[in-house]
A and B are shown apart, each in its own frame.
Chain A
Amino acid sequence: MFANTISKKDLALLAVFTAAVLAGPIILKPIGAGYPDLLQKFAIYGIFALGFNILFGLTGYLSFGHAAFLGVGSYTAVWTFKLLSMNPIPAIILATIAGGLFSALIGFISLRRSGIYFSILTLAFAQMSYNLAYSVLTPITNGETGLQLTQSDPRALDVAFGRDYGAVLPVSDLFGMEMQGYPGFYFCAVMLIVCFFISMRIYRSPFGMMLRAVKSNQNRLNFTGVHTRPYALTAFIISGMYAGLAGGLLAVTDPLAGAERMQWTASGEVVLMTILGGAGTLLGPVIGAGAIKYFENIFSAFNDGILMKIFSFLPEVLQHLAVSISSLFVGEGWHLTLGALFMVIVIFLPGGLMEGVTRLSNLFRKQPPDDRAGGTPHPAPAE
C-alpha cells in the first residue's frame, strides 16, 4: 500500500525510528532512563510535541494553549474508563476526537488573528479552560481533587462483556494486559510510531507544502488562489488531536486527570520541547520532548544530600557554598537549568538540537555548511 508512495530514505528513517523507540528501554539504560514510567513520558510527550510541530513548525502559528487539549484528552479518557470500559482503545479514540473538537472550536476563533494576537488568544482560552475546570465544571472535572476512578463506576461495556474488577480500583488493561510498566510503555510507543508516520506523510504531502507556504508568505499564498485560513485551521485541529491522544495516554498509564495539566506552564513546555528539538523538523520535537523530560527527571530528583556528596571533595566551606549555589538549579528549581539550557540552544543553535546534528554530520562529511541541509529552516517569527 505504501511501497510505491514512500521514498526509500523515508522508509529507512521510519525503520530506524521504530527500532530506536522499541529498543528504548535498552538504549536509554546507560543514562539511567531505562525505566518504564519515564519511557512512557518520553513517548507521550513525544506525541504531544510531534502534533504541536505540525502547527508551529509548519504554519508558524505559535499556540500557547495546547495544554488545554491535553487536559481535555485526559478527562475524556478517564470518563471513558468510568462509563464504558477500562480498555485503553475506546479511551484514546474518544480522547483524540475530543481534542479535535475542542481545538476546532478554539482554532476557529483564534485563527481570526495572527502573530502575537493569535498566541494571546490561545493562551487566554487555555487559561479559561483551566479555571473552568477548577470552578463551574467541577461536576465533570472533580475540581481540585482531580477526576479519579471509583469502584462504583458503571463501566457499561466491561459489565456487558462480563468483566468484573471486584473490590479493587482497576487499572487500564488491553484485553488483560495491564497498561502499567513496560506494557504501558509499549502501548504508548506504538502510538508514537503511528503518529510519527502520519506526521511524516503530512510533511511530504502537498498539504504540508501549503502549510509551509502559510508560514513563509501568507500574502502571496492568498494571491496564488489559496484560502489560507482553512489550511491553518486543519493544522490546528490535527495538532489538537495529537494533544488529545497524548492526554488520553497519560490517563491510560495513570488513570486520573487534574486541571493542572491544562495550566499555561504545560503549554509553554511543549513550545520549549519543539524549539529545543528543532521546530519544523520531523524528529526534532520527539528529541526535544525526550530531552526535557529526561532533564526534568534527573535534576528534579537532586536534593541537598546528593549535592553534598557530589561536592564532598571540596573543603567544607567551599562545599557548602557550592551546594547552596547549585541547589538553586535542581529539585524544585530545575526550571532554572531548563531556562539556561534553552537560552544556550536558542542563541547557538537556533534550529534546535536537530541543527546541531546536521552541523555535526556536515562536519564529518567535510562538506561546506549548508543551511538548507536536513530541512532545518531558520526560525521565523510567529505568523
Chain B
Amino acid sequence: MSALSVKNVNKRFGGLKALDNVNLEIDGGTVHAIIGPNGAGKSTLLNCFIGRLEPDTGSVTFNGQSLLGMAPHEINQAGVSRVFQTPEIFGDLSLIDNVMIPSFARRDGAFKINAWTPVRRNGPMAEKAMSMLEDVGLAAKADETAGHLSRGDKRRLELAMCLVQDPKLLLLDEPTAGMARADTNNTIDLMKTIAQRGVTMVVIEHDMHVVFSLAEKISVLAQGTVIAEDTPANIKGNPKVQEAYLGGAHL
C-alpha cells in the first residue's frame, strides 16, 4: 500500500509549466529517490507535499489523508518532516536548542503556553536531543551557535531536527550537497539506519552514489513530468533517462 500518493498534479508559474500531470506512488517503509536535471521540478514537487505550494490541480494524499489545503505546521504534525536544499535551522540558537525545539513541537503540539516550568537541561527531552546529535556526529558542538556551523554540519543538524520528531515520512532535498565525501558516507549510513526503522523517505539527490546506495525505487523527472520510474538497476539502462541527462555520462 502506498503511503504517499500523488495524482495528476499540475503547477504553473506564469507561462512556465513546472509540474505537468505528475503521478507518483510511494510505498510505505521504502526509500524513493527523485532525480532529474536542474529545473525539472523536483523541489517544486516537494513543496507541494509540505504546504509551501498548492498545486493548481491534482491530489496529494498521505496515508489516505489529503495534504492539500493544510497549513505547513499541520502537515508536519501529521508526521511529515523535511530537510531543505538550503539548510533551514535556528541560526542564533545552540545546536541542542535547535534539536529540542522540534522535540517540544512534537510533544506539545502546534501551540501550547508552557511558560512556567523551565527547560530542563538534564531531563529526558535534553537527553533525546543529545542522542540525536550523537547520531549525526555533532554531539561535541552541542552548545555552539548553529549559525556558525559549516554547510555540511548545518545539513546534518537539520537532519537531526527532523529525526527527533520520529517522522513517518521524511523528505530530503539534496541531503548531502555541500558535504565532504566522508561525511556523505556517514550520512548514507545514517539514512540506511533510519530506513531500517521503517520511515518512508523521499530523497531528491544529484549525487548518484547516494541515490544508488539508498533508493529502492527511482523516479526520473524531466521538464515537469515523470519520464521513468523503476528500480535503480533498470533506471541505469533506460535510454530516455540517459537522453534527459544529455548522454547520461555520470549515470
> A-side interface residues toward B, CB under 8 Å?
5-7, 201-202, 204-210, 212-213, 215-217, 219-228, 230-231, 234, 371-372, 377-378, 380
- B91 adjacent to A226 (CB under 8 Å): no
Chain B residues, Cβ within 8 Å of A221: 90, 101, 105
Q: Do B118 and A210 have beta carbons less than 8 Å apart?
A: no
Which of chain B's residues 102-120 have a Cβ closer than 8 Å to chain A? 102, 104-106, 108-119
Choose from B91, B118, B145 the contact partner of A5 (Cβ within 8 Å).
B118
B91 touches A206 (CB 8 A): no
Segment touching A, from B34-42, B71-79, B178-186: B71-79
The answer to whether A225 and B118 touch (CB under 8 A), given A216-B92, A216-B93, A220-B90, is: no
B91 with A227: CB separation less than 8 A: no
Q: How far is the CB of A221 from chain B (nearest CB, A)?
A: 7
Interface residue B88 (Cβ < 8 Å from any Cβ of A): yes
- For residue A278, give the distance in angstroms from its CB to the closest CB of chain B: 14
- Determine how close the nearest CB of chain A comes to the CB of B175; give it in whole angstroms: 15
Nearest to A380 among chain B residues (CB) is B92
Q: Which residues of A contact B221 (CB under 8 A)?
A: none
Q: Are B118 and A377 in contact (CB under 8 A)?
A: no
> Does chain A have a CB within 8 A of B100?
yes
A206 lies within 8 A of B108 (CB): yes
Q: Are A213 and B82 in contact (CB under 8 A)?
A: no
The answer to whether A201 and B115 touch (CB under 8 A), given A222-B73, A227-B71, is yes
- With A209-B104, A227-B73, A231-B111: A215-B92 Cβ-Cβ less than 8 Å: yes
Most buried by B among A207, A225, A372: A225
In the assembled complex, B50 has its CB within 8 A of some CB on chain A: yes
Q: Give every chain B residue within 8 A of A6 (Cβ-Cβ).
A: 118
25 A–B pairs (Cβ distance < 8 Å), ordered by A: A205-B115, A206-B117, A209-B104, A213-B90, A216-B90, A217-B88, A217-B89, A217-B91, A219-B88, A221-B101, A222-B72, A224-B161, A224-B165, A225-B77, A225-B109, A225-B110, A225-B165, A226-B73, A226-B101, A227-B71, A227-B73, A227-B110, A228-B73, A372-B94, A377-B92
B205 at the interface (CB under 8 A from A): no
A208 to B117, CA, bound (A): 11
- Residue B97 interfacial (CB < 8 Å): yes
Instruction: Output the least CB separation between B93 and chain A (Å).
Output: 6
Name the distance in Å between A380's Cβ and chain B's nearest Cβ. Answer: 7
Q: Contact: B101 with A210, CB < 8 Å?
A: yes
Contact of B89 among A209, A220, A377, A380 (CB under 8 A): A220
B228 to chain A, nearest CB (A): 30
Partner of A206, one of B52, B90, B114: B114
Residue among B50, B90, B114, B161 with the highest chain A CB neighbour number at 10 A: B90
Instruction: Please name the residue on chain A nearest to B164 by beta carbon.
Output: A224
Shortest Cβ distance from B83 into A: residue? A223
B101: chain A residues within 8 A (beta carbon): 209-210, 213, 221, 224, 226
The CA of A221 and the CA of B72, in the complex, are separated in Å by: 10
Q: Which B residues touch A7, using CB under 8 A?
A: 118
Chain A residues closer than 8 Å to B73, beta-carbon distance: 222-228
Q: Given A206-B108, A210-B101, A217-B91, are A223 and B114 also a contact pair (CB < 8 Å)?
A: no
User: Once the chains are docked, how many angstroms separate the CA of A206 from the CA of B120?
Assistant: 9
Task: For the complex formed, measure the closest distance between the CB of A377 and the CB atoms of chain B, giving whole angstroms.
Answer: 5
Known: A209-B101, A210-B101. A225 touches B88 (CB 8 A): no
Q: Return chain B residues, CB-CB under 8 Å to A372.
A: 94, 145
3 tightest A-B CB contacts, nearest first: A225-B76, A204-B118, A207-B115
Given contacts A209-B97, A217-B88, A219-B88, contact A224 B102 (CB under 8 A): yes
Q: In the assembled complex, how far is the CB of residue A46 from the closest CB belonging to chain B, in whole angstroms?
A: 20
Please name all residues of chain B whose beta carbon is closer than 8 Å to the beta carbon of A5 when the two chains form the complex.
117-118
**Which partner residue on chain B sits nearest A205 by CB separation?**
B115
- Report chain A residues within 8 Å CB of B105: 221, 224-226
Q: Determine how close the nearest CB of chain B comes to the CB of A239; give it in whole angstroms.
A: 13
What B residues does A223 contact at CB under 8 A? 50, 52, 72-73, 76, 81-82, 84, 88
Given contacts A205-B117, A223-B76, A224-B102, contact A230 B111 (CB under 8 A): yes
Within 8 A of A (CB), among B152-191: 161, 165
Q: A216-B91, A223-B88, A227-B71 are in contact. Are A201 and B106 (CB under 8 A)?
A: no
**Are B108 and A224 interface neighbours, CB within 8 A?**
no
Which chain A positions have C-beta within 8 A of B116?
Answer: 201, 205
Q: Which of A202, A206, A228, A230 has the most chain B CB atoms inside 10 A of its CB?
A: A206
**Supplied contacts A5-B118, A378-B92, 8 more A-B pairs, CB within 8 Å:** A201-B115, A201-B118, A205-B116, A215-B92, A216-B92, A223-B84, A226-B110, A372-B94
